[in-house]
């Protein structure tokens, strides 16, 4: 299979056919609400390498690096012919304080703010239209979810091509769908955080929305390269240093599970990361998975997930390992019969 012929799936209610993995641009935003310091030249190289490997979509957001991630995406794509550029997905609704960059961003959903945000993202990304525009988190400024009608208006106006909701539970999805079709849903979903498959995925399937799952490698825990020492050494400006999955008994269980994926990876001649990502993608209704990278070599570590099909034996073994290690919570195995 050539570098530019990765399998694709139709993304829900959109007219996009996307590769089963996409480039996640959170980490390349740098230390501001991100993953610690980052070399921009390596970020640009990583994005270009992803495109060279056949990946045809990038997921970013204004809050990643407080605008910096979107700017790096623009720079990385500046030398790629327009016809070969990947789809660009970004978000709105998290507003930071420019005078206090460390303050928790506010969740703002009012129409005036969203319209300012879309113009700012278009400028930072250097594009005329955003392919997928998503509400990043439910607003807590008193704006009801039904006001996401603003996103539908932006779609009608040609500012964006498709609209979606990230981090919204089933109750909010149901309310939003009474106002405008939910083209795409973006939830956290991995072998460690599995609740989406039980609580929201049935609704998504019934309504024909696409699903782009984020953190299928649980922010590095399921790469096969993470260790307790690395967790202890995470700098304070890396959000993972404060996440419960990266410490104590949870860390022990997560790393034991990741280690248990090695025999499955060996059977396929691939990596633990590829197996972990393929597990998330194997669930009926999940269109693709967002996977981050800080440098080109990291992409090569998980790109096999784009072409890998897990067998029933693989899925049984993964389920057994989840039960044995007691890592995470939620359903432990996809029902592939439902995909037939």
Q: Which residues pair with 238 in a beta bridge?
A: 35
**Residue 205 backbone dihedrals phi, psi, to 5 degrees:** -60, -40
Structure letter (DSSP) for residue 145: G
- Whether 6 and 51 have beta carbons less than 8 Å apart is answered as no
Q: Which residues of 202-223 are buried (b: 16+ CB within 10 A; e: fewer)?
A: ebbeeeebbbbbbbbbbbbbbb
Catalytic entry in 35, 64, 189, 302: 64
Which of 172, 276, 148, 166 is closest to 212 using CA atoms?
166
Check if 133 is active-site. Answer: no
**Residue 92 backbone dihedrals phi, psi, to 5 degrees:** -150, 165
Strand pairing class (94-95; 106-107): antiparallel
- Whether 276 and 191 have beta carbons less than 8 Å apart is answered as yes
Active site residues: 64
């Amino acid at each position: 299979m050539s570098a530019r012929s990765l399998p694709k799936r139709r993304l829900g209610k959109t007219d996009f056919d996307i590769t089963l993995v996409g480039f996640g641009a959170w980490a390349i935003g740098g230390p501001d609400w991100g993953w610690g310091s980052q070399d921009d030249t390596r970020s640009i190289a990583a994005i270009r390498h992803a495109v060279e490997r056949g990946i045809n979509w990038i997921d970013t957001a204004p809050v990643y690096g407080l605008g910096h991630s979107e700017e790096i995406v623009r720079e990385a794509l500046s030398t790629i012919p327009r016809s070969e550029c990947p789809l660009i997905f970004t978000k709105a609704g998290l507003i930071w304080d420019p005078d206090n960059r460390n303050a928790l961003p506010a969740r703002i959903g009012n129409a005036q703010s969203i319209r300012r945000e879309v113009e700012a993202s278009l400028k930072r990304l250097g594009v005329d239209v955003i392919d997928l525009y998503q509400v990043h988190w439910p607003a807590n400024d008193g704006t009801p979810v039904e006001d996401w009608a603003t996103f539908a208006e932006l779609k009608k106006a040609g500012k964006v091509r498709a609209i979606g909701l990230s981090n919204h539970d089933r109750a909010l999805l149901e309310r939003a769908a009474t106002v405008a079709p939910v083209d795409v849903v973006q939830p956290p979903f991995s072998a460690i955080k599995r609740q989406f498959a039980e609580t929201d995925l049935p609704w998504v399937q019934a309504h024909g929305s696409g699903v782009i799952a984020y953190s299928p490698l649980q922010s590095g825990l399921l790469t096969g390269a993470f260790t307790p020492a690395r967790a202890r050494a995470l700098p304070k400006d890396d959000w993972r240093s404060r996440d419960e999955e990266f410490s104590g008994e949870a860390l022990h269980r997560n790393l034991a599970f990741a280690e248990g994926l090695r025999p499955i990876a060996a059977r396929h001649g691939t990596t633990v990361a590829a197996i972990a990502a393929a597990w998330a993608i194997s669930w009926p209704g999940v269109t693709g998975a967002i996977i981050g990278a800080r440098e080109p070599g990291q992409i090569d570590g998980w790109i096999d997930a784009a072409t890998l099909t897990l067998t029933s034996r693989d899925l049984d073994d993964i389920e057994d390992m989840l039960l044995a290690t007691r890592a995470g919570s939620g359903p432990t195995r996809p029902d592939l019969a439902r995909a037939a």
